Structure 1
Amino acid sequence: MALLDPVHAVLSEYHRRYDMRQVEIRIDLLRPIFEDMGYVDKIYWERFFFKSKYIIAQIKTYLQDMGPYKGVGSYARIQFSENLNYCWTRFAICKEMYHCILDAQPGSRITNTGDLLTLSEYLTDDLLSELADEADKFAPFETEKLAEIMAIETLIPIELRRHLADALDGGLVTPHQIALRYRIPEEYVGISMSAGYFSAVIRGRDGKLVDLS
């Protein structure tokens, strides 16, 4: 199993249902896919006031009675900071939904501002390239960084953004314009468009990309 197989599975199903060329990639349409592929039956999210300004999102999973004849099921509740803008809200929810696939069992996770965007430090150390070759090296990061990478690869898929590399290098398009187009935080555009990241993601997906034809 390739490191980023869940991304390929989610995007393939999204494209089959909705056509991923119609950007932005919508999180409300992603939700039923995660419910089908993950370990929870239902996913809910809500805006929330956190006492700490450093918390941007959290996910908790529960068991509940699903009603007559359905027995007991499970659901995930994602709460995201009321201070997040539209792009950051989309990213935070997508990242937390990946925990419904990645985490081995129900639990609770909190995402702090300090946990995010350090991904660029790992990329400059070529760590992601190593992880694409040997998945068990990802263990020190548990699933937090993997969920972050998967959220990037879902909301601005390599299938769609790779044709923008030359335009970005040539100054024909700016990171801000790309962020607006795909509705992701601009901070992640530079990460996702770097040459080293491109090659690492291709290897992490074992060369499998969604056929957009």
Structure 2
Amino acid sequence: MFFKLVSGIANQACGFIDKNSQCTLEDIACIFSESTNIDEVEFIGYNCNRSNPIWGSFRKYQKIVAYRGEIDTVEIRYANHLSSAWRRFVVTKELCHSLEADKGYFSVENQDVKRLITELSISSIPSNGKFSRPFSMERRAELAALEILLPFSKREQIIQQEGTLTESRIEELAEQFDAPVFYTAMAFSDSYISIARHLFSEDA
């Protein structure tokens, strides 16, 4: 259910990318409000030391609004020192995390592509495309954010047209999609593409 919902959000993000070359955080917030039980999204930047490993957090709560009644609100907080690419990833990841939890955070100390690939190992996916074992909500949210910022269909088109990508081309694509090079490289890796194909392709 989670991945199906994320796939729908990613498909809508593709529409914005096709039209405007990019899907902004405001666009993503609107998609979430229209496609999920989240009624309102608030972004709040905060100042902190760059050595602080906590780059973002979220909390979900209900509040009463005149003429609307009780609404579900997600407040996303992010460190002001983040680059545009990292801010987009952290905010989108926290939004995705809010689909399954009421609060959480993103820590730079959790960055580990090998750990994520291992946890999402293709060997754990049977022929029906479903995971045989659960993995953490943190990893699910990371995966979901990656798919919204760099939709599988867009990546597949690029791979079909260009084949194996060089490091410099990965950096160009990271700039084009305004996503961290760290995650862009992962998104185009063979091991990750195999996983994403089971979860986000049209035939999944």
Q: Which residue does 2:83 correspond to in 1?
A: 85
Whether 1:198 aligns to 2:193 is yes
Residue number in structure 2 paired with 1:59: 58
Alpha-carbon contact 2:46-2:79 (below 8 Å) kept: yes
Deviation string 1:87-111 (CA, Å, 9 cap, x unpaired) is 00011111111123233xxx22121
Secondary structure of 2:202's counterpart equals coil
Contact 1:46 1:79 in 2 (8 A): yes
1:73 shift after superposition: 1.7
Q: Retained in 2: the 8 A contact 1:54–1:113? A: yes
Distance in 1, matches of 2:169 and 2:149, equals 18
1:119-161 deviation per Cα after TM superposition (whole angstroms, max 9, x unaligned): 33332x474324544436224x1x1111101111111112112
Alignment RMSD = 2.5
In the TM superposition, what is the alpha-carbon distance from 1:171 to its structure 2 partner? 4.0
Does structure 1 residue 128 correspond to structure 2 residue 115?
A: no
Contact 1:168 1:174 in 2 (8 A): no
Assess if the C-alpha contact under 8 Å between 2:65 and 2:71 holds in 1: yes
- C-alpha separation in 1, matches of 2:12 and 2:199: 19
**Alignment partners' CA distance in 1, 2:119 and 2:38:** 34
The answer (yes or no) to whether the contact 1:132–1:204 under 8 Å persists in 2 is no
- The alignment's TM-score, normalised by the length of structure 1, stands at 0.81
Question: 2: distance between equivalents of 1:81 and 1:126?
Answer: 27
The equivalent residue for 2:99 is 101
Higher relative contact order (CA 8 A, sep 6+): 1
Distance 2:105 2:170 in 1: 28
Aligned to 1:208: 202
Match of 1:119 in 2: 113
State the match for 2:140 in structure 1: 146
Report whether the alignment pairs 1:187 with 2:185: no
Q: In structure 2, how many angstroms separate the alpha carbons of the residues matched to 1:73 and 1:109?
A: 20
Distance 1:157 1:85, change over 3 A: same
> Structure 1 residues 53 and 126, CA, compared in 2 at 3 Å: closer, same or farther?
closer
Unpaired runs of 5+ in structure 2? Answer: none
When structure 1 is superposed on structure 2, of 48-57 and 29-38 the one drifting more is: 48-57
Residue identity in the other structure for 1:138: P
Structure 1 position 21, deviation (Å):
5.9
Matched-pair identity in %: 16
What TM-score do you get using the length of structure 2 for normalisation?
0.84
Kindly provide the CA deviation profile for residues 178-210 of structure 1, in whole angstroms up to 9, marking residues without a partner as x. Answer: 1111110001122111112111111123x417x
Looking at structure 2, the residues matched to 172 and 150 of structure 1 have their Cα atoms a distance apart, in angstroms, of 23
Instruction: Report if aligned partners of 2:13, 2:148 keep a CA contact under 8 Å in 1.
Output: no
Q: Distance in 1 between matches of 2:176 and 2:61?
A: 35
Aligned length: 198
